[in-house]
Amino acid sequence: MGEKAKVKETVKLFSKVWKLPTYQRIIGRIFLAVLLGSVLSGFLQILATPSVDVASTLAVSFALLALPAFVGTGLLYAMIRKKDSPLDARRTAGSVQYGIFIWIGFGIIGAILSFISSNDFYEVRFWMLGVGAAYMLFAFLVTGLSDHHPIRNFIAALMIPSLWYLIVSVFGGYGGVIYVLPIWWPVVAIIMFIMLSVSVNYIFRAVSVPFERDLGINGPELLRAFGYDYLTNNSEPMETTLSKIGEMQDVPIEVLVIKNDAGLVAVGVVEYVHPGPFRQIGSSSLPSAIIDHVEQKHGVPAFVMHGSCTHQQNLTSKKDFPIVMAEIDRLIDETEVHDAMSGPHWSDLGKFKVWTLFAGDDVLTISTSAPEFTDDISLDVGRDAADMVRKRLPAIKGVSIVDAHNCINGEAVSVMPGDPEAGEYVGAVSSAVFSTVSNPRMKVSAGVYRAVPEDVRPDEGMGPGGVTALVLDGGNREIVLLSLDGNNMEPGFREEAIRMLKTQGFDDAEVLTTDTHVVNAISLSSRGYPPVGQNKPQETMEAIIIAANKARENVSPVSMGLGFGEVKNLCTFGERGFDILTQNIAEAAGIAKRVGIRLGAASFLIAMLLTFML
């Protein structure tokens, strides 16, 4: 399994662990487990000793489990609670329930063995062993999300086991049927809990090693920061952690300014800041933020396009958004527009197909590999393509490199410098520009419209930016370009969308995605996100058709121009923040699995020996 796949699996596992039901259902589960364990344990004791009082035996048996389970959980929560912490009452109870299930499961096994053997030796020892295993799980889950000192977390995790030992020491032997703790139980319990605490602490320290070694950050701190974002939608702790390892970069940004006689009509934005890494962290929401900014400040729709970039161009924090917006505003104000343009022209050059649109001395290129699969095109490969265009055609000044990002499967990879596909990509873009640069220029009309399908949510693949359509009419040819606020596209959906648009009378069409990562890590998709068209394809298609036809209704004669700028001193992931971080997460996941299984098994074996040697 590759490193990115391991990261996705780790996030998926985290998602499953914390995919909890309502608080009431969690409490109901714990109650049923306690009821089942107490009734079975008490019933077997009653069968073994028919003369005992049934009601009082069952009541005491229930109290032995219910008081630690509920009062102990309350005490645990009281010790770890913190304002706005991911560990609210529901998640605390949710984490506790797993340990309680294990504890009661062990106890039931012991009760059955004691009944079969007519010897209460087994029952109490299995209850002790079970509460030890439960403590280890309590300590692990609480330490993973609590901001408090580890010692405080371990003491909090001890609330349930300590309360159980206290109650059993008081009620043990009640009526001659309730199990009695061995005489040396305090020594065994202390040794067991110290050993299990050391084991949990060692696992967290081992997991932290790759992050401290390569990035200088604490691994558990990163885990807790992710928990804040994933569980409470608070991205600030994660962004603060990521900013510690950020790399300052100057990143290009470009605009396509569209005006008519009345003024600004629409703005296309080519963003080379990568809209990642996931959810609301970093620049994940930048495409929709740009759309909102342009609409609010300039009063026109924005057509956002994904420039050539990878996760190395992710922002570590949304705090840099204003810098990006300021450069967009500057370009909108300063970009010169032209009455005549040429394109978009289609060039099929093998795996990569390229649209070219010329305005003044500049060219906008939009590339797609569909129906073949590609992830991102790196910023350096895009720069190489632009340089090659200018080398072959010195008259061309500005070259905008857009990645349509519209066809993916599980095996798709990014095109990086040095890859065989990098040369193919550079050649395809430069050849497309070279072969279409002499095509005649003409006046065009354009219209833009944005539709936001309310019935397609981010966890279904559609970000808040919705669907934006740009219709270009050159008199004898009408083309529509669609920008969907999603992350890549289900294979075949692009082709179906183009087919449907042609039935609406458009001569040609292209469907792009913004690559927004607000759709990432919020569903249990095998990819870590649902590409556009995987979920609710019909509703998405309806939004595409509506946006295209509404844009057609808004068509008017326009002038266009491309503006080229650069956003300086952005704090980005860089190589350290993505490639190394990805490697570290994959390595840490392997360490957690390897060390956790070995140490957990060894701790359990030692605990068993301690318990049964009494």
Q: At what angle do helices 219-232 and 3-17 cross, to 10 degrees?
A: 60
Q: Residue 143: name the closest of 97, 67, 89, 202 by CA.
A: 202
Tell me the backbone φ, ψ of residue 397, rounded to 5 degrees: -95, -65
SS3 content of the chain, % helix, strand, coil (to 5): 55, 20, 25
Name beta bridge partners: 155.
Answer: none
Report pLDDT for 5.
52
Contact (CB, 8 A) for 359 and 394:
no
Distance of alpha carbon 459 from alpha carbon 522, whole angstroms: 6
d(CA 28, CA 575): 48
pLDDT at 13: 57
How much is the pLDDT for 2?
45
**What is the pLDDT, as a whole number, of residue 1?**
41
Predicted local confidence at residue 175, as pLDDT: 65
DSSP 311: G
Q: Where are the domains of the chain?
A: 3-232+579-612, 247-572
251: β partners = 567
DSSP readout, 332-364?
HHH---BSEEEEEEEEEETTEEEEEEEETTEEE
The CA distance from 357 to 523, in Å, is: 37
Q: What is the pLDDT of residues 198-254, one digit of tens each?
A: 999 999 999 899 888 888 888 888 888 888 888 888 889 889 988 988 899 999 999
User: What pLDDT is attached to residue 515?
Assistant: 93
Low-confidence ranges of the chain (pLDDT < 50): 1-3, 6, 524-526
pLDDT value at residue 3: 45
